[in-house]
Amino acid sequence: MQTRERLFRILCVSCLALPLLMLAYLLGRLVVDAWPRLTMAFLTGFPSRRAEDAGILPGIVGSLYLILLTIALALPVGVGAALYLEEFGQRRRLAQLIEVNIANLAGVPSIIYGLLGLEVFVRFMGLGRSLIAGAATLALLVLPVIIMSTREALRTVPDSLREAAVGLGATRWQVVRRIVLPQAVPGIMTGSILAVSRAIGETAPLVVIGALTFITFLPDGPTAPFTALPIQIFNWVSRPQAAFAANAAAGILVLMVTLLALNAVAIYLRERMQRSHR
Amino acid sequence: MDVTSATPPTLAAGAGAGAGPNASRRPAPPAARATPAREHLIEGFLFLCGALSILTTLGILIVLGYETAGFFSEVSFGQFFGDTEWTPLFADKHFGIWALVSGTVLTSAIAITVALPFGLLSAIYLSELAPRQTRRVLKPLMELLAGVPTIVYGFFALSVVTPALQTVIPELAGFNALGAGIVMGVMIIPMISSLSEDALHAVPQSLREAAWGLGGSRLAGIFQVVLPAARSGVAAAITLALSRAIGETMIVAIAAGQQPRFTFDPRVPVETMTAYIVQISMGDVPAGTLEFRTVFAVGAALFLMTFAMNLFAQRLAKKYRRLG
């Protein structure tokens, strides 16, 4: 091998490795900073003006509710839209328009969704700065993710299965309901998990919607005001005192562990799906 | 006898009913109970699901358009585009968007300067040089970089990267465009790398083989054949990554500061368009006021910028697909 090529190869590999090493270093430091703060009292406590008394429970509970509501709103609609595009309306001009539109929506900055949610859900529909308004906003935000991954999953279902079902006299919906959807479930699950991991870390739209930074109660229903993990972290990051930085690090660790777990499940499902289709 | 009594009477009754007016027709299997009406209903519902995406786009356009129109009924275009100061919350109000645009452009330019070499060289490695097994492991690892929430990157930019930079550049402020931009660059590396890799991958193998056949080295093949052939795809990747950086919010809101100023000095605090929206949302500006509407005017400008870039990127991407 030529020296020049070898040098270039080394350059390329370091370009790949350096950012990853940087991330690993940052995460390592994060664990060191967060560890002393990561106590039971922190996980089950409420926000406080004193950093060492502050806890993250409302953030955890808020994020949990938010994610459940978001996925309950986005999953049926997202799968429905994907089914329409893949199984029903392929050749129609309207379907093409929807397709282009979804690609564009995927590129809209998340903070713009926040402005949309603020005007439509919080003000126009009168939902207030509530859990459900936040979830509806996040649902719109993750819809393109769910639609695109569901479509991918639907495309992996071989046409021969559809044709066989049609040949046996099944209607279009029966084909979808009994043949296509069951086959696509792992792909849809992967997409949902990706959507959840996107939604769980989203901060900007929730700030715009008006999530609270300091609440000493847990939300008691979908119309209750709320906070979320990233909002709580943002609040601590914005404070100048070093003690709050430790809280932020601990909050981030909770967020990252949740995310890693979600992604591990998604990767497992994807691998399993790929294997079953080979 | 228990067995005989267990025979469900309903089944017999059902068969009897089926033998009525429809006796000549083949008995429908239980699955085929779906009527055309139900089929239409379901298809209609699925269509509505798809149409929601159009409604979302319309919603964005209407919301931004309506509030921005309200904004421009009080502030002239000249004040918006002809000024470099942005002080809507002060007694002496200025609405010069360039103060925010410069912050956005500065941080995004730093990000792309960081992300382009790293992203492109990783893409070249993954597509042209890496063994298949290595590629299968490294690609998802790269995507990990994009999966980290931006609030986490913001924290790193403020608490690790900026202090580290300050040891080299002592005059660097605590909030600055440099640290935020660099971290944002790390965030968009996977975007450039994975989209560029797709473009490189789409270059037909025959072109590479032709280059080697003519006696070209592997490097010559990459730089004189593969990269030029994939250039529109790579350009699309860069455009999309840039658009992502422009719309990115939390990193710059946390680490770049909240001081709108028309400058291209990376060492001082600036404010991006997105960070301004966050700043106003954190305070309690009452809805319907001019201050409140500034958020939507800035949002509209941001939307137009990213939208134009996304359209441009889609055009470029189409070009390389035709080639591949």
Domains in chain A, CATH or no CATH each:
35-276 (1.10.3720.10)
Asked whether residue A125 carries a pLDDT value surpassing 80, the answer given is yes
Long-range contacts of B17-24 (CB under 8 A, 24+ apart): none
**Diameter of chain A by CA atoms?**
70
Output the DSSP codes for A232-263: HHHHHHTS-SHHHHHHHHHHHHHHHHHHHHHH
Max mean pLDDT range (A236-245, B20-29, B235-244):
B235-244
Within a 10 A sphere around the Cβ of A278, how many other Cβ atoms?
5
| Shared domain check, B70 and B161 | no
Residues B168 and B70 in one domain: no
Give the whole-angstrom CA distance, residue B119 versus residue B127.
12
Decide if B141 and A89 are in contact by the 8 Å CB cutoff.
no
pTM, entire model: 0.88
Asked whether residue B102 falls in the same domain as residue B64, the answer is no
CB < 8 Å to B306, chain A: 107-109
In a domain, B242, yes or no: yes
- Amino acid B70 reads G
pLDDT recorded at residue A221: 83
Residue type, A135: A
Query: For residue A140, what pLDDT is reported?
Result: 96
Which position has the token pair 């270059």?
Answer: B203
Query: Comparing A267-271, B31-35, B80-84, which segment has the lowest mean pLDDT?
Result: B31-35
**B52, B119: one domain:** no
- Are both B136 and B44 inside the same structural domain? no
Residue A44 and residue A47: Cα distance in Å, rounded? 10
Of A25-29, B123-127, B215-219, B251-255, the least confident = B215-219
Q: Do residue B139 and residue B282 come from a single domain?
A: yes
Q: Determine contact: A139 vs chain B, CB below 8 A.
A: no
- For residue A248, give the nearest of B155, B244, B299 by CB distance: B155
Given a cut of 50, whether residue A211 has pLDDT beyond it is yes
Q: Is residue B22 part of a domain?
A: no
pLDDT of B15 over the 70 cut: no
In a domain, B9, yes or no: no
Within a domain: B250: yes
Is the Cα torsion angle A87, A93, A97, A100 positive or negative in sign? Answer: positive
- List pLDDT tens digits, range B90-141: 888 899 999 999 999 999 999 999 999 999 999 999 999 999 898 888 888 8
The number of angstroms, rounded, from the C-alpha of A239 to the middle of its chain's C-alpha atoms is 27
**pLDDT band, very low/low/confident/very high, at B28 (cuts 50, 70, 90):** very low
Same domain assignment for residues B48 and B118? no
User: What are the tokens at B34?
Assistant: 């779906």
Give A77's contacts in chain B (Cβ within 8 Å): 49, 52
B288, part of any domain: yes
pLDDT at B29 over 60: no
- What residue type is assigned to position A198 of the chain? R
| Co-location of B108 and B53 in the same domain | no
CB A184 within 8 A of CB A154: yes
**Nearest-neighbour CA in chain B from A251: distance (Å):** 10
**Residue in A112, A202, A256 closest to B303 by CB:** A112
pLDDT of the residue at A266: 78
Query: Given B25, B59, B74, which residue is the final one in a domain?
Result: B74
State whether B63 and B125 are in the same domain: no
- Are the beta carbons of A115 and B142 separated by less than 8 Å? no
Q: What is the pLDDT of residue B283?
A: 83
At residue B26 the predicted structure's pLDDT band, cuts being 50, 70 and 90, is very low
Q: Are residues B52 and B176 in the same domain?
A: no
Residue in A5, A15, A83 closest to B218 by CB: A5
Query: What does the pLDDT read at residue B35?
Result: 64
Q: Average pLDDT, stretch B180-208?
A: 93
Chain A residues close to B152, C-beta within 8 Å: 201, 252, 255-256
Q: What is the CATH number of the domain that holds B232?
A: 1.10.3720.10
Q: Could you tell me if residue B20 is inside a domain? A: no
Question: Among candidates B191, B162, B321, which has minimal Cα distance to B251?
Answer: B162
Q: From the candidates B25, B46, B258, which should be mutated to test the interface with A, based on the most A CB atoms within 10 A?
A: B46
Q: Domain of B59?
A: 38-74
pLDDT bin (cut points 50, 70, 90) of residue B37 is: confident
Q: Is A253 on the interface with B (CB under 8 A)?
A: no
Tell whether B54 and B166 lie within a shared domain.
Answer: no
What integer is the mean pLDDT of B187-215?
92
| Contact between chains at B144 and A23 (C-beta distance less than 8 A) | yes
Give me the residues of A, 1-40, that contact B with CB < 8 A.
2, 4-5, 8-9, 11-13, 15-16, 18-20, 22-23, 26, 29-30
Residues of A in contact with B314 (CB under 8 A): 103
Q: Looking at the domain assignment, is residue B33 inside a domain?
A: no
Sign of the CA dihedral running A258, A231, A59, A66:
negative
Q: How confident is the model at residue A172 (pLDDT cuts 50, 70, 90)?
A: confident
CA closest to B116 among chain A residues: A15
Total domain count for chain B? Answer: 2
Handedness of CA B169, B174, B176, B182 (dihedral sign): positive
Sorted by sequence, the CB contacts under 8 Å of residue B172 that are 6+ apart come out as B162, B165, B166, B178, B179, B267
**A265 at the B interface (CB within 8 A)?**
no
Query: Does B238 have pLDDT greater than 90?
Result: yes
Q: At what angle do helices B290-323 and B98-124 cross, to 10 degrees?
A: 30
* B108 Cα to chain A: minimum distance (Å): 14
* Length in residues, chain B: 324
Residue with tokens 């925010």: B100
On whether residue B136 sits in a domain, the answer given is: yes
- Contacts with A30 from chain B: Cβ below 8 Å: 156
In this structure, the answer to whether residues B163 and B219 fall within a common structural domain is yes
